Structure 1
Amino acid sequence: MKKLKPYLILLAALSCLVILFAGIWTYQLNSRIQEGLEQKKFLPPTEYYAAPVEFSAKLVTTSKSELVSVLKLRGYRSRDWNQRLFPGDFAEASREVCQNSVPPILPEGVTSCLLLAVKETADPELSKLALQMAAFDSQDQLAAAFSGNPLQEATKIALEPELFAQYLDQQPIMQNYTPLGEIPTQCLNAVLAIEDSQFLEHSGFSFPGIARALLSNVTGGKVKQGGSTITQQMVKNYFLTSERTLKRKATELVMSVLLETHSSKDQILETYLNIIYLGQNGPFQIRGFGAAAQYYFNKPLEQLELPECAMLAAVLNSPGLYDPFLKTENAIKRRSLVLDRMQTLKMISSEDAEKAKSATLPTRQSYSVNETAPYYINAANKEIIKMGLDPLGLKVFTGLSLVEQQAAQQAIRGHLDQLEAHNKKVKKIKESGKTLEGLLVSAHNQSGLISAIVGGRSYRLTQFNRATDGHRQVGSIMKPFVYLTALIDSGKNGKVYDPLTPLNDIPFSYRFDGQKWSPENYGRKYFGQVPMYFALKNSLNSATAQLGLEVGIPRVIETAKSLGIESPLSPVPSVTLGAFELYPLEVLKAYVALARMGNSIPISTLRAITNEKGLTLYESHPEGQQVVSEVATAELISMMKQTVRSGTAQGVSLSGFTTPAAGKTGTTSDYKDAWFSGITPEQSTLVWIGYDDPTSNSLTGASGAVPAWISFMKKAPLSQVQNDFSWPESVELRPMEVDEENKVLHFELAFPK
């Protein structure tokens, strides 16, 4: 016994140490859980919302059937007129019923109306327009709009903005937090049946589950099955990694028990169902049942039925393996397994199970803004940070148009692929390992809101946002500022300028700072004496440079600055031809001002920002400022319209694009950059094509940028508006008939009255 005593003492000491270390380890894990719960609980993602979907009687024609179709697609519910409307409801009625029920006096010709209650939204603008009414004529076309409570005449019908992206810790996710009480019982039962039928009974882990996992792992020779309860899965997702080691498993077991001492079963299940990974939408992780319901079924979680609940429970185990879009056979088998398990546990009847098994799988939705929308989000975050705000947890309401963003993506990618496949020089450069890049940025002229941004062909390949950070030579994009300066200064110093003023387009040289500058026309082709509009539409370097020197380089720079150009411009002759770098957003802002007849307005991605408490931190109320003469700008626009009719961008009119448009192409020296900035009365869009390094690509603005602009603008909803530019009353449009190389052209130019 005396011999055993030292060993017993040693054993006791070791046992005390083990208990001590176990206690310390458990305490540390407990602290980790407490800290994690506090941090995670109050760490909401940043949410990004697209622009409201709008219908205007004055711009784009909208039929009643189109509006009803959109409402139903967005989950609105049709009600009888005499029923109370809740958010997300609409009702139709005749003119007589409408007139007797609502305050506004309906315009003549209105034969029916549609009353709708907009879905609840944190959007500061839309929250004021909860009740809206659309009035239709005898052809069922939208004739008038009303909004507010009481209803008052409005310019448009506006539906709640769609959530298009969420970020948490700079990681793109899609998540829609849903309280446990709003999750359908069928969905709860489906998850419990297939994942953890003993969830309400165990204290964090299941001995039978662990036994099954150990048996599987021993027979398999490696750790391949976890036997995890829902609590353990939550611990793994919330606090740990997904590595499969015995140490991590032991930590998971202890933390699961500790978690159940800190949280109720309802809290654990609610959190689990809102954070669990359920798939991938491009670069965005689908997190939680709320986001998964929208992604897979395009409907709110609370509207899901048994087959859909079973499908989500099936996907949960392995989203890649049971993806209903890509792995349909696997998805059907796993869904059947979920339904069989629910039937075994008497959660559903055999009839319900068989009926659910026969339900069709969902199909992928058409919208896919995920590949390049990150460029838009990147631009929005830059603005938010510039305001001194931290994006974390904010609700960001943007000017993004889902339709335009998709069109922009397709336009840039499609055109770049086309050039690399069929343009000999670009194809050869592609074979050497270089990738052709591009950008597109577009804004609505009335609001200044940026509706689409593509900052490169793939955000996955490069996160450099060319639309916001690209600083490139702009070439002939600068020329309109030269002509505008001349038109503004017309009459000063006895020199009059108008669209027909003759300019000399001949070779010339100019000495500056001891150097000789001799600009050349494209192809070294000169036209002698030509009118101003002809020199601009054909982008003649010689005529433009001489005009710039005549009106004065400092005055040209002053005009550019007044329109929104902020980059430094050196007072050298080559500034007239754009031999300097600008940011794309500077150019866009300047061209928006031109489209607004010299009235400048801030351009932005942001409509409003609220915090997690619903407090409005920012709301856009842009005000325009007349920065240059509207008469001179109108003259310039009439000249720029000829660029797209018969000048360097005539591909626009030849393509069948009929919306009134004006613009200017740009090609830099050695063909390194191809630009086109085109404007319509409603929208301004800028396109650039080139390489990130100064590689010559043989592309001009006409061949490199114009085709992408056409592709985008043909799909932009505002291109349906056929109204001409809003010409000032102080100008007159004079018809012209000109014979150019035996081709008679008919057009109009603007002149001061």
Structure 2
Amino acid sequence: MSNKNIKSKATKSNKPTKTADKQKSVTARIIIFLAKLTIASLFTLGIFLIYLDAKVRQTFEGQRWHVPVQVYGQQQKLQIGGQENLTAITESLIINGYENVNYVTRVGQFSQVADLLTIFQRPFDFDDGASHAQQLNIEIVNDIVVALQIDKAAVSQLSLEPQLLARLVPDNKEDRVLVSLEELPSQLIDTLLLIEDRDFYHHYGVSPMGIVRALFKNIRAGRTVQGGSTLTQQLVKNMFLSRERTLTRKVQEALMALILEFRYSKDQILEAYINEVYLGQNYANGVYGFGLGAQFYFGKSLNELSPAQMALLIAQVKGPSYYDPWRHPKRAVERRDLVLRLMFEQHLLSLVDFEYAAESPLSVRAHRRLAKKKYPAYLQLVNRELNQYLSSFTQKSGIKVFTGFSHRSQQLLEQSVNQQLPLLEKQYKQKGLETSMIVTDIATGEIRALVGGRESGYAGFNRALNAKRHIGSLIKPIIYVAALERYQQYNLASILDDKAITLKNGSGKKWQPKNYDGKYRGQVSLIEGLVYSLNIPTINLGMSLGLNNVADAIKALGYQHKLQMRPSVLLGAINMSPLEVNQLYLAIASKGYYRKSHTITKIISSKNEILWQKKQTGEQRLSGEAAYLLDYALTQVTKIGTAKSLTWRLNNKEIAGKTGTSNALRDSWFIGYDNKHLVTTWLGKDNNKPTGLTGSSGALPLFANFMKRQGVVNKIEEQPPGIVVTLFEQQTGNAVTEECANTVIYPAIRAGIRTSKHCLQEKVDRRSWFEKVFGD
């Protein structure tokens, strides 16, 4: 055989081998590529999982939600022997959403039989720790607490649940009430898991069997009755992801669900879901979580819901808009009844309870909108103080803010304004009168109530905080107490000139002030100048003291702004808000002891840790003796002076106060106080036009009307050791003996008394010889 033929055969036999090798090479390259792709994919997936894990942990272990600030009113504490009003307590309970019943059987109810009040109080976190639901028995006889019981055990004191004033919703417009798993009724939890994820405690975040089961049930029902997503997936969707429906988002949802299940316990996930699930829309604010959902739909706490209400609330998870009970009641009833039937089938309801629940109406609140902030003027001041104490970030962490707010005082204040302003406008032929009133507890400085205008509930311009007006004669007590502090020189009997005067300012312009009645009395005593609010004696006294000394007294009582002193300031030509005036008089009403007036008493975190608490500290800004003398004079103002109409308006109750009127009758003021409350009242017009009202004809009737409604606690005079009752000669103001004629008795500071043995006129004994021998 030739070499040529042999080579040809060899060539033919090598061709299949080369092809196979080539195929193997391609296969190897594909395998390597796939291996690399797999590695790269796994690496990418790993990086992505690390990212998702970090995202989950950052949210779940940090501040999960921006939770509204919850603002509460005064926390009322009752103790044996304390003075309390049973009617006021029951009114408070009704305002706080408690139901008045014949027999108390569940949380949120109360009953009253004669002097005995029984309350089934909701769980609430009080100062001494978390409190469970408990039954309170309170017996009050003649406004005195005689017996107290908690769960039938006698106690010496107890606390009532404070009123929730408002929920200050954060910028993201998500509103929720955080609840713990322990607070939830077991029936609600069992039903939720039955409807949304019955295998919750048996899967790892994703449930293939659940998807198949849901698909089968939906096909059999001919509509969607059950979802395929686990409760964990729903939580991921609500907490971490957008609402878009894409495959990428669904994969991300599943991965994050697996991470959640790996990182956290089932109970933690369930509690987060309960607080995160979207349940409706309260206009601009979304309603999130079952805690707020119960309030939004029924005006109740979760523990107060009936089985039918629980079923309706869980029905909303499916679609709050589609099953909206206000807009689509028929759909809502159908969905609720479906939930009830499943509850019955799974033995979560008895037959009797199922039939009763299925036949019951929806029983949602009459109006969709959650109650607006009822007391916006007061809450504006709360907000102002809150911003001083906490950052905006901390304010979104579910904090509770406790205040000194008294709903009863607030209601009475608003009632007085609504009644009196129209009467004053009609009587004095005026229009557009506005007002502001502030009620402060003298002992603590806590502001109990506040009105910023005549329209209650209006959230606009707050005159109590922001209206800067001339304070008129309200400045006078500060001038007089500055004099009384100089006890070596002044006392209540000191003589002041009341004659025409002319003063010049720096540019030579003349000022000729007059008394309100245009009369001059020649000379008057210091107490007469204050009691009758005389301008000329006050100016003479202020100029004698020195304007700088008067400025020091104003600042000592709490005015914090710069003062430009000039003679006209002595008659109140200085602009202050009612809140600033209230602060000045708080020290006067509390016997010279200065404390800052405030609304907020305490702020606690969502974990019941105290973040800030008002310290009951202050200082003595006026001497006790001078404060006592001023208090004595202001009490005389209400008996014989410019506020003497209070004697018949308040039936001769012991009260102190001062009227104030600015130029041209533009501002009408009255500040009064009894043994418990200081009340600041302003009345005027926003355009600063004359009102035709003095302090005694305008603001004083408003004050009196409120005090009559609230009830006056008579002032109790405690005379300091340094005060002595002294005889003074009226014409000279000197302390004299009983031998002198034309005398008057006033309290005075003992250290400043120098008794004179000389009289302008000695007392003449006009008794007959018989009376002298045998007595009167």
Which of 545, 554, 557 aligns to 2:548? It is: 554
Kindly provide the CA deviation profile for residues 375-404 of structure 1, in whole angstroms up to 9, marking residues without a partner as x. Answer: 243144145249x99885655443233433
Q: 1:381 maps to what in 2?
A: 386
The answer to whether 1:678 aligns with 2:636 is no
The 5 A counterparts of 1:354-373 are 354-359=355-360, 361=363, 369=374, 371-372=376-377
Which of 688, 693, 703 aligns to 1:696? It is: 688
Kindly provide the CA deviation profile for residues 410-458 of structure 1, in whole angstroms up to 9, marking residues without a partner as x. Answer: 667888999999998765xxxxxxxx97654432111222323456779
Deviation at 1:90, TM superposition (A): 13
Deviation at 1:353, TM superposition (A): 2.3
Q: 2:446 maps to what in 1?
A: 449
Q: 2:58 maps to what in 1?
A: 35
Structure 1 Cα separation of the partners of residues 677 and 374 of structure 2: 20
The 5 A counterparts of 1:90-169 are 121-123=125-127, 139=141, 142=144, 158-159=159-160, 161=162, 164-165=165-166
The answer to whether 1:622 aligns with 2:616 is yes
Question: Unaligned 5+ residue runs, structure 1?
Answer: 81-86, 93-110, 220-224, 428-435, 735-748
Q: 1:720 maps to what in 2?
A: 711
Kindly provide the CA deviation profile for residues 70-113 of structure 1, in whole angstroms up to 9, marking residues without a partner as x. Answer: 69987999999xxxxxx999999xxxxxxxxxxxxxxxxxx999
Assess if the C-alpha contact under 8 Å between 2:440 and 2:449 holds in 1: yes
Structure 1 Cα separation of the partners of residues 324 and 445 of structure 2: 41
Structure 1 Cα separation of the partners of residues 644 and 84 of structure 2: 28
Cα distance, 1:609–1:416 mapped onto 2, change above 3 Å:
same
Q: Secondary structure at the match of 2:63?
A: helix
Assess if the C-alpha contact under 8 Å between 2:63 and 2:397 holds in 1: no
Cα distance, 1:271–1:157 mapped onto 2, change above 3 Å:
closer
The 5 A counterparts of 1:394-409 are 394-405=399-410, 407=412
Q: 1:50 maps to what in 2?
A: 73
Structure 1 Cα separation of the partners of residues 439 and 281 of structure 2: 28
Q: 1:588 maps to what in 2?
A: 582
Kindly provide the CA deviation profile for residues 567-602 of structure 1, in whole angstroms up to 9, marking residues without a partner as x. Answer: 222332122123234455443232122212323334
Kindly provide the CA deviation profile for residues 6-27 of structure 1, in whole angstroms up to 9, marking residues without a partner as x. Answer: xx99x99999999998887666
The 5 A counterparts of 1:448-487 are 448-453=445-450, 473-487=470-484
The answer to whether 1:510 aligns with 2:511 is no
Structure 2 Cα separation of the partners of residues 417 and 526 of structure 1: 31
Which residue identity does 1:751 align to in structure 2?
Y
Comparing 559-568 with 412-421, which one deviates more in the overlay? Answer: 412-421
Structure 2 Cα separation of the partners of residues 438 and 68 of structure 1: 26
The 5 A counterparts of 1:171-570 are 175-192=176-193, 203=205, 230-240=231-241, 255-256=256-257, 259-260=260-261, 262-278=263-279, 287-293=288-294, 301-302=302-303, 304-314=305-315, 335-343=336-344, 347-359=348-360, 361=363, 369=374, 371-372=376-377, 374-385=379-390, 392=397, 394-405=399-410, 407=412, 427=432, 439-453=436-450, 473-489=470-486, 492=489, 496-498=491-493, 504=498, 508-516=501-509, 518=511, 525-529=517-521, 536=530, 539-570=533-564
Structure 1 Cα separation of the partners of residues 200 and 74 of structure 2: 42
Q: 2:774 maps to what in 1?
A: none
Deviation at 1:525, TM superposition (A): 4.2
Question: Unaligned 5+ residue runs, structure 2?
Answer: 1-21, 728-743, 749-776
Kindly provide the CA deviation profile for residues 633-689 of structure 1, in whole angstroms up to 9, marking residues without a partner as x. Answer: 344334434656687667867766876433334455577765443322201133456
Structure 2 Cα separation of the partners of residues 406 and 373 of structure 1: 12
Structure 1 Cα separation of the partners of residues 317 and 378 of structure 2: 27
Assess if the C-alpha contact under 8 Å between 1:369 and 1:405 holds in 2: no
Which of 729, 746, 749 aligns to 1:751? It is: 746
Deviation at 1:271, TM superposition (A): 1.1
Deviation at 1:519, TM superposition (A): 6.1
Structure 2 Cα separation of the partners of residues 750 and 283 of structure 1: 67
Kindly provide the CA deviation profile for residues 324-367 of structure 1, in whole angstroms up to 9, marking residues without a partner as x. Answer: 79998886666445424544666435532221244563668999
Structure 2 Cα separation of the partners of residues 57 and 526 of structure 1: 56
Which residue identity does 1:720 align to in structure 2?
G
Structure 2 Cα separation of the partners of residues 211 and 536 of structure 1: 87
Which residue identity does 1:482 align to in structure 2?
I
Deviation at 1:272, TM superposition (A): 1.7
Deviation at 1:123, TM superposition (A): 1.4
Deviation at 1:510, TM superposition (A): 0.9
Cα distance, 1:346–1:385 mapped onto 2, change above 3 Å:
closer
Assess if the C-alpha contact under 8 Å between 1:731 and 1:750 holds in 2: no
Kindly provide the CA deviation profile for residues 600-642 of structure 1, in whole angstroms up to 9, marking residues without a partner as x. Answer: 3343334344555655565545256443244543443344346
Cα distance, 1:350–1:381 mapped onto 2, change above 3 Å:
same
Deviation at 1:473, TM superposition (A): 4.5
Structure 2 Cα separation of the partners of residues 417 and 316 of structure 1: 50
TM-score normalised by L of structure 2: 0.66
Structure 1 Cα separation of the partners of residues 573 and 337 of structure 2: 66
Q: Secondary structure at the match of 1:527?
A: coil
Q: Secondary structure at the match of 1:267?
A: helix
Q: 1:222 maps to what in 2?
A: none
Q: Secondary structure at the match of 1:568?
A: coil
Which residue identity does 2:187 align to in structure 1?
Q
Q: Secondary structure at the match of 1:607?
A: strand
TM-score normalised by L of structure 1: 0.68
Which residue identity does 2:593 align to in structure 1?
N
Assess if the C-alpha contact under 8 Å between 1:652 and 1:710 holds in 2: yes
The answer to whether 1:574 aligns with 2:568 is yes
Deviation at 1:696, TM superposition (A): 1.9
Kindly provide the CA deviation profile for residues 224-282 of structure 1, in whole angstroms up to 9, marking residues without a partner as x. Answer: x9997644543344234668899878866665565455445443322121233556889
Assess if the C-alpha contact under 8 Å between 2:206 and 2:229 holds in 1: no
Q: Secondary structure at the match of 1:528?
A: coil
Cα distance, 1:126–1:257 mapped onto 2, change above 3 Å:
closer
Which residue identity does 1:526 align to in structure 2?
G
Cα distance, 1:473–1:121 mapped onto 2, change above 3 Å:
same
Assess if the C-alpha contact under 8 Å between 1:657 and 1:710 holds in 2: no
Assess if the C-alpha contact under 8 Å between 2:378 and 2:451 holds in 1: yes
Structure 1 Cα separation of the partners of residues 299 and 637 of structure 2: 44
Calculate the aligned-residue CA RMSD, in Å: 6.2
Structure 1 Cα separation of the partners of residues 421 and 387 of structure 2: 27
Q: 1:108 maps to what in 2?
A: none
Structure 2 Cα separation of the partners of residues 542 and 119 of structure 1: 61
Structure 2 Cα separation of the partners of residues 728 and 341 of structure 1: 75
Aligned residues: 678
Comparing 320-329 with 702-711, which one deviates more in the overlay? Answer: 320-329
Deviation at 1:35, TM superposition (A): 1.9
Cα distance, 1:536–1:487 mapped onto 2, change above 3 Å:
same
